[in-house]
Amino acid sequence: MPPRARRAPVWSNGELLDLIAVWGEEAVQSQLRSSRRNFDTFGQISRAMIERGHDRDAMQCRIKVKELRSAYRKAREANNHSGAPPKTCRFYKELDAILGVDPTTLPSTTVDTGEEEE
């Protein structure tokens, strides 16, 4: 039987809050928006995590950011359905500060109201 892949330790609340804080910095957000190939940016996030006392590599940070983004989007989409009870996810408020202004979640079309500006 092949050996099992070793899993990374579970992220603590403190680690997650630090990851969200680093990920939410404007410089980091700018780098992530400017390039699709952003592994170097996750390397910077990993170094910032190490400076804060957490031992996480770039791949672990990238995967956790993707998981957090997915959980936030699922909760947000569920809340957009009328009549549905409100849903939330862990750290929703903190994630909303980062992803709530994400241009990929905003509608790209404008609505013509028929009124002219003076």
Highest mean pLDDT among 29-33, 44-48, 81-85: 44-48
Instruction: Give the SS3 label for residue 116.
Output: coil
Would you tell me how many other CB atoms lie within 10 Å of the CB of residue 59? 13
68-74 average pLDDT score: 93
CA-to-CA dists, residue 74 to 80, 90, 99, angstroms: 10, 12, 12
pLDDT at 85 over 80: no
Average pLDDT, the chain: 82
Q: Quote the pLDDT of residue 55.
A: 94
For 116, the token pair is 């002219």
20 φ/ψ angles, rounded to the nearest 5 degrees: -65, -40
| Mean pLDDT to the nearest integer, 65-72 | 94
Give, as one character, the DSSP assignment of residue 7: P
Lookup: tokens for 79: 């809340």
pTM value is 0.74
Q: Above 80 in pLDDT, residue 1?
A: no
